[in-house]
Amino acid sequence: MRRKSIGRHATTIVVAVLVLLAGCARGDDPAAPPPPPPPTDPALVQTATGAVRGVVAPDHRLFAGIPYAAPPVGPLRWQPPAPAPSWPGVRDATRTGPRCMQDASDLEMGRQTSEDCLSLNVWTPPPSEKKRAVMVWIHGGAFVNGSSGIYDSRWLASRGDVVVVTVNYRLGALGFLAHPSLGPPGAVGNYGLSDQQAALRWVHDNIANFGGDPDAVTIAGESAGGMSVCDHLVAPGSEGLFRAAIIQSGPCQAQLPLPEAQRASVDYARDAGCEDVRTVAACLRALPAEKLRKPVWYYRIGDDALSGPVTGTKVLPVDPMKEIADGRAAKVPVLIGTNHDEFTLFVALEYLRLKTPYTEAQYPQLLEETFGRDAAAVATHYPLARYGGSVPLAYSAAVTDGVFACPADRMTEGFAKTDSVYAYQFDDRGAPAPEALRTLPFPVGASHSLELRYLFDIGGAQPLDPDQRVLSDQMIDAWTQFVRDGHPGDDWPAFDAEEKRLSLRPGGSKVVTDFDQSRQCPFWAGLKE
């Protein structure tokens, strides 16, 4: 602290001396230029609602915990986000805000949660006269957990020379309950998605003061964040708020029509003690937030349940998968991809919960729970013998292809009808994983979310080895060039009739054209007919 203070005083003295010398040299010459203004404080930025003071490092700046909407509490619970109130003086922006309310079983140790959680974080390169392109990152977590504070974006900001904004949004029941008593027909649910739109409007109105270009915004996200990006590509309220999109491992087909969501929401309210149709809305809004940690479950993939956005509403009137397939999504460049072994993460988490592996006898049941009447056909195409008799690996391969890879393949074909699209598969099967995932009786490989460690400084796992560090640099360069220019570089061809994708792997990524065949997408397409 003393060193920084001395530096500021020295700068002030130098500026004062320069001004004095300039004045002496100028004398009474009326044509002489005025003295230069003193340097501005790079840690201080003005927003529409007040000034914020962040953290300045040699290669980046961070402004954390900035409110972009009013606290969604009391009468604002289950309402569209309201404008953030202004504040006097300078707001401390050196720490991320609390996580949005989520299931206590999913909380990280030491992480504060609150219903007052609608904040965002802005990561920038060092100040410059030029305006930088902007990436708005929407976190994953099945719409029931996670937060913006997990994603340390300094690599993207410093190496990639872009501004990165990471966003909190309402989760679980507080973000997506679609009870018909909460608003007019079609205006319930999707509060979390509306929060994301409010954050995008905040970026449009404020990001120039942080050195960002409001006309050069790319929306990006992984898992539930990727699903959110799909929604914004077809949502009326998101139109014009971005110029490109990045979808990482987003199972965008997992959307629920409003009538089904309303039925699930009525059941949820009844279980919470709010059943009288005359008072249910007031009853729900009067409940302590702690009583609303449990999500409202809309979808289930095997043992994994999801909350999330609802179609047929004012915010999301259409099914994004259908709009994308028909070429009616926003006409913007898209970067989209999945990981080679997506579902091993979920199987691993279930194994750690039960402390016992799946058995051969359970395989048909797992497939039936996940794929219903198609279970027998899936079992034929994913026989245990092909996976060394391993139920976790066979089951993971089937769900990875059917739920992640092949829907992404269909979306890629749809996006190619409207604009440039760049596709990838993350294929580092030795990607660093948390300790618990390294002690399983089966390998997790390139599992769901493990590519994030190559873009963000995320702890909790072994560091990248030298080859992985090179891949990380290549991915950061590609992602940020896409944010800047709408394409990820000369080595990454656009998806075309040959269905070219880049297989991202340490030791040298390569272009592949057999993705749909290797993931058995013709088989999965046949099941949809």
Choose among 63, 106, 70: nearest CA to 194.
70
Give the pLDDT of residue 104. 62
Query: Would you say 163 and 123 are in contact if contact means Cβ atoms under 8 Å apart?
Result: yes
487 is catalytic: no
Query: Would you say 147 and 139 are in contact if contact means Cβ atoms under 8 Å apart?
Result: yes
∠227-229-235 over CA atoms, to 5°?
A: 105
Query: Which residue has 């290797």 as its token pair?
Result: 518
DSSP letter at 109? T
User: Phi, psi (5° rounding) for residue 526?
Assistant: -65, -35
What is the spatial distance between Cα 91 and Cα 431, in angstroms, rounded to a whole number? Answer: 39
List beta partners, residue 503.
425, 510
What is the spatial distance between Cα 147 and Cα 85, in angstroms, rounded to a whole number? Answer: 22
What is the spatial distance between Cα 482 and Cα 120, in angstroms, rounded to a whole number? Answer: 22
User: Phi, psi (5° rounding) for residue 282?
Assistant: -65, -40
- Residues 6 or more apart whose CB falls under 8 angstroms from that of 320 comprise 230, 231, 233, 234, 252, 255, 311, 329
Give the pLDDT of residue 422. 98
Give the pLDDT of residue 300. 56
Q: Active-site residue among 148, 158, 194, 223?
A: 223
139 is catalytic: no
Alpha helices in 129-288 (DSSP H): 154-158, 172-176, 191-206, 224-232, 258-271, 280-286
Query: Would you say 222 and 250 are in contact if contact means Cβ atoms under 8 Å apart?
Result: yes
Give all strands (DSSP E) within 119-209, no chain letters.
119-124, 132-138, 163-167
Q: Active-site residue among 60, 139, 340, 448?
A: 448
Q: Active-site residue among 342, 390, 449, 451?
A: 342
User: pLDDT, tens digit, for every residue of 164-185?
Assistant: 999 999 999 999 999 999 999 8
Query: Would you say 429 and 331 are in contact if contact means Cβ atoms under 8 Å apart?
Result: no
Give the pLDDT of residue 14. 27
Give the pLDDT of residue 355. 86
* pLDDT, block means (10 residues), the chain with 529 residues: 30 28 34 54 97 98 98 97 97 97 61 92 96 98 94 98 98 96 94 98 98 98 97 97 98 88 94 93 96 81 69 96 95 98 95 89 95 96 97 98 97 95 98 93 96 94 96 98 97 96 97 96 88
Measured from the Cβ of residue 443, the count of other Cβ atoms closer than 10 Å reads 18
What is the spatial distance between Cα 152 and Cα 123, in angstroms, rounded to a whole number? Answer: 9
342 is catalytic: yes
* Terminal Cα-to-Cα distance of the chain (whole angstroms): 66
Measured from the Cβ of residue 37, the count of other Cβ atoms closer than 10 Å reads 8
What is the spatial distance between Cα 374 and Cα 383, in angstroms, rounded to a whole number? Answer: 14
Give the pLDDT of residue 299. 59
Within 13 A of 253's CA, how many CA atoms are on the CB side? 14
Give the pLDDT of residue 21. 26
∠411-346-261 over CA atoms, to 5°?
A: 60
Q: What global pTM score does this model have?
A: 0.91
